[in-house]
Amino acid sequence: MSRDIKKTFEKDPDKEAWQANFFTENHLAYEAFPNEVASPEQLKFIVFTEDEPVYYPCSDKTFDAIINKKDPDYLILSYMKVWERIEPLVKDIIQDEYKKRFLLALLKIKFRHETASLVMLPSRVEKRLLQIFIRVSEIDRPLSRSKEKKNEKIFNLLHSDMFHEALNKREGLEMRPELSLSDIDLKINFLKLKRLMNMAFFVDEILSKDEPTRKDLESIMDRPLIGEGWDRFIDMLTEWQNQDRWHYLLWKGPVSGSILFDIEIIKILLHFKVKVIISVKQAFYYEEITMADVLDDPYLSDALKEADIITKKDISKNALIEKLKSDKTIFVISDGTQERFNPLLTSVTFARAFKEVDAVIFRSPYDSRCLEKSHFLYTRDVIYQGISNSTNRVQELLFRPHHPKAIHFSEKDLRAKAESLIYHLQVEKSRGKTIMFYSAIVGSIPNQLQTAKKILKVFVNYLRERQEGVVVINPAEHFEPGMDADDIMYMWEIVQRSGLIDIWRFQTYEDIEKAFELMGEKVPPEWVGKDATYSTGCTKEMQIAREVQKEHPEMQIIGPPWEKFLRRKEYGVGKLYDRTLGDVN
């Protein structure tokens, strides 16, 4: 982080007010827009924020210019680059002259208004202008014909003999006598990957030619692919192919034409036991592929006919993992946005996908500009294309390692923890013990997390002292640093569905009163009348308990009646607590 940005966060009421204004005006403040902006917990799925005072979805230079009110010329130039993309788009798409002039005039008014204060991010200005363009033009898929023509040309090229001959030519393959067949196979796949990646990166050269020749294709395929990102990618694949599990990549921001090369690359990754989640845009963003393109473009539909298209924007962790464990190898999701990479506005599905994968490949050049010029580290390794060498007919792949403190609990890790707990319960049960699971409020009451844990510990110990031959499970005792609510709920559901629980007890208000009595304290106002029904996590567990009881009728459920739990639906994303009752239908 630059010295100027560090100064920004020194205690200064005027600066803090301007910073708050920045996030509010850009609609990036969770407190002001909780239904649009990712919660701090969801943001942590993507960005490692522990060492960061705030996160901003732009370059350090842009943030510094806005927050410290410096270099207005740089900001104005950035705004003008947005206009230089919007204006030709309108002129190209809108055929009616009157409507074209009206729309340009309206966009200019909005553009001047949004940029006058020099507090708006260029990317946010761009999104607002695009939304106006879509609404007024009433065109849901601008550039759809152009995109489909590009995809058609690449689709036909991929199915040509000329392309396959160029891709499979032997020149460039190192063949030493000591190499085994496995080594040769590995080198062949890496060479194909390099050639296909070059085709994807320089697709515009192919599209610019009426009839590309085999020489044209080979010229692009044979270009060097440089950078730490490429080296790390090869190292990852080499390591993964020898491991006894599937690995996952998030493939973000494919663009028209190029996406068909991406899909060919992904097919080769299957040899390395890699499944890929392709992330597209939710709404129009120039040449980037949208979910509407995936569903309506005939060439994309054909290329992705075997993929699992996930249209739900708020898929649960369990549902996502079940899909990843299926026979499918390619998945398509929307990132939920209409702008370049912005973790503050991405969908729950995207955030959970980012959290579950082993690494992320950024394919959009717009994303690359932001990634390359900001200091933030993420929870997963990131590979993205450099923007400096691509004009020199050489593509550089850059690498940003995940934050060293970021912890990744894979599905295999969580299942192993659950199975270890199940084994422990089986041993206890074989000794004649009764197994009781205790579900309680952990953080549903704002600013009461530590108190909730204390209440839970005191009351569970009370139960253990009073009940002979009963093993009482306190989930809080099995928490590990780095685990969030998604991880915890997934792990415990495996245990809960094991059929080993004899009594499932849900926290009542009487339990809470007893805990405070044991602590020699009165019940504070925040806890009066509370019970497990105030916890979304407990509500989810009550649903599971009722399902388990149908399979194991001998299991006893103790606690508030089911009807009282209906106030809650799903636990907060990545949270150990919920939103306020006013946010829940």
The pLDDT assigned to 573 comes to 57
Instruction: Assess whether 333 and 417 both reside in one domain.
Output: no
Instruction: Assess whether 289 and 205 both reside in one domain.
Output: yes
Q: Higher-confidence residue: 409 or 423?
A: 423
Give the domain range for residue 293.
144-400
Q: Are 107 and 85 in contact (CB under 8 A)?
A: no
Q: What does pTM read for this prediction? A: 0.87
Instruction: Assess whether 394 and 497 both reside in one domain.
Output: no
181, pLDDT greater than 90: no
How does pLDDT run across 426-439, given as a tens digit for each residue?
999 999 999 999 99
Q: What is the CATH number of the domain that holds 334?
A: 3.40.50.10880
The domain boundary, picked from 112, 137, 162, lies at 137
Which residues neighbour 28 within 8 Å (Cβ) at sequence distance 6 or greater?
A: 37, 56, 57, 124, 344, 345
Mean pLDDT of 494-506: 96
Look at the block and give the residue holding tokens 């798409």.
Answer: 93
Instruction: Assess whether 497 and 363 both reside in one domain.
Output: no
Interhelix angle 122-137/72-93, rounded to 10 degrees, is: 20
Q: Look at strands 395-400 and 225-226 and give their pairing.
A: parallel
Structure tokens at 210: 């009426």
How does pLDDT run across 158-172, given as a tens digit for each residue?
999 999 999 999 988
Cα–Cα distance, 388 to 377 (Å, whole number): 21
Q: Does a structural domain hold residue 198?
A: yes
Q: Does a structural domain hold residue 176?
A: yes
Instruction: Assess whether 64 and 205 both reside in one domain.
Output: no
Instruction: Assess whether 550 and 573 both reside in one domain.
Output: yes
Using DSSP, state whether 190 is helix, strand or coil.
helix
Q: What is the mean pLDDT of the chain?
A: 91
The domain boundary, picked from 116, 137, 158, lies at 137
How does pLDDT run across 283-313, given as a tens digit for each residue?
999 999 999 999 999 999 999 999 999 999 9
The pLDDT assigned to 583 comes to 39
The pLDDT assigned to 465 comes to 95
Instruction: Give residue 51's pLDDT band: very low, low, confident or very high (50, 70, 90).
Output: confident
DSSP readout, 222-254? Answer: TS-EESHHHHHHHHHHHHHTTSSS-EEEEEE--
- Burial code (b: 16+ CB inside 10 Å, e: under 16) for 11-38 equals eeeebeebbeebbebbbbbbeeeeeebb
**Percentage of the chain lying above the pLDDT 70 cut:** 94
2, pLDDT greater than 60: no
Instruction: Assess whether 217 and 272 both reside in one domain.
Output: yes
Instruction: Give residue 568's pLDDT band: very low, low, confident or very high (50, 70, 90).
Output: low
Instruction: Assess whether 428 and 558 both reside in one domain.
Output: yes
Q: Does a structural domain hold residue 218?
A: yes
Maximum C-alpha span of the chain: 85
Q: Does a structural domain hold residue 201?
A: yes
The domain boundary, picked from 380, 400, 420, lies at 400
Structural domains of the chain, count: 3
The pLDDT assigned to 580 comes to 36
Which residues neighbour 149 within 8 Å (Cβ) at sequence distance 6 or greater?
A: none
| Nearest partner of 232 among 255, 219, 249, judged by Cα | 249
| Nearest partner of 526 among 579, 580, 581, 447, judged by Cα | 447
Using DSSP, state whether 405 is helix, strand or coil.
coil
Cα–Cα distance, 392 to 456 (Å, whole number): 63
Instruction: Assess whether 197 and 127 both reside in one domain.
Output: no
Q: Does a structural domain hold residue 457?
A: yes
The pLDDT assigned to 389 comes to 55
Sequence-distant contacts of 141-147: CB under 8 A, at least 24 apart: 141/284, 141/290, 141/292, 141/293, 141/296, 142/89, 142/93, 142/284, 143/89, 143/93, 143/256, 143/284, 143/286, 143/287, 144/293, 144/296, 144/297, 146/256, 147/256, 147/257, 147/287, 147/289, 147/293, 147/297
Mean pLDDT of 366-386: 91
Q: Does a structural domain hold residue 169?
A: yes
The pLDDT assigned to 392 comes to 62
| Nearest partner of 531 among 408, 470, 441, judged by Cα | 441
Q: Does a structural domain hold residue 405?
A: no
Instruction: Assess whether 483 and 367 both reside in one domain.
Output: no
The pLDDT assigned to 7 comes to 58
Q: Does a structural domain hold residue 406?
A: no
Which residues neighbour 106 within 8 Å (Cβ) at sequence distance 6 or greater?
A: 132, 136
Mean pLDDT of 511-515: 96
Instruction: Assess whether 461 and 574 both reside in one domain.
Output: yes
The pLDDT assigned to 582 comes to 34
Instruction: Give residue 575's pLDDT band: very low, low, confident or very high (50, 70, 90).
Output: low
Instruction: Assess whether 151 and 132 both reside in one domain.
Output: no
How does pLDDT run across 83-128, given as a tens digit for each residue?
999 999 999 999 999 999 999 999 999 999 999 999 999 999 999 9
| Nearest partner of 339 among 283, 385, 256, judged by Cα | 283
Most trustworthy range by pLDDT among 440-449, 525-534, 576-585: 525-534
Structure tokens at 77: 């130039």
How does pLDDT run across 127-157, given as a tens digit for each residue?
999 999 999 999 989 999 999 999 999 999 9
Q: Are 492 and 548 in contact (CB under 8 A)?
A: no
